[in-house]
Amino acid sequence: MNQAQGNIRWHPAAITAAERERSKGQRGAALWFTGLSGAGKSTIAAIVDHRLHAAGRHSYILDGDNLRFGLCKDLGFSPEDRAENIRRIGEVARLFVDAGLIVLCAAISPYRRDREQARALVGAGRFIEIFVDTELAECERRDPKGLYRRARAGEITGFSGIDAPYERPEAPELRLVGGPSSGPDALAEQVLAHLLAQHILTGT
């Protein structure tokens, strides 16, 4: 415990998480989209977010790239910085879930231990690991940001799937098989069906 922690205390909210959920007709949950760069995480999350909003639900996207412009802009891509990046995203996701929102986190999050730390922060039954399982060759074919080309050329290092590891989830709550035959709209429908089956979307 550092000195500052010894001088602070947790202030409980006057409104409980259950009360917030009832007012929204949903359960707070973190949908954690993991997969290689270019797998389709952000695209699928955006479609799910749009459909939830259209249905009058309360959701928000925490995109890994976007957060590196602010909350995580001081971090690089070493294993230690990646771990801290995921810890910060997990802490923010925990707050969103406590507020009764469905938060969609789209981040490569290549290490199992970091994803499990995020799960522990959010809490059992509230963390839904969604593995967007798109083959490396397909991700390279897409290469929406030109990063694979640069990684192959040695212009950038520490790139997941090329010269840095990506540890596949062993037992995700949901596995989405990406590729040329699986469009993002169909994969988003699988996510929404899972939310209904798990009673994340209530009041319907």
Q: Which residue numbers are catalytic?
A: 109
DSSP tag of 70: T
List the beta bridge partners of residue 29: 102
What CA–CA distance (Å, rounded) separates 147 from 85? Answer: 19
**For residue 107, what is the enclosing H or E element?**
none
Q: In 3D, which of 199, 193, 164 has the Cα closest to residue 48?
A: 193
- Both tokens assigned to 91: 């802490």
CB 79 within 8 A of CB 111: yes
**For residue 81, what is the enclosing H or E element?**
helix 79-98
End-to-end alpha carbon distance in the chain: 45
Furthest C-alpha separation in the chain: 56
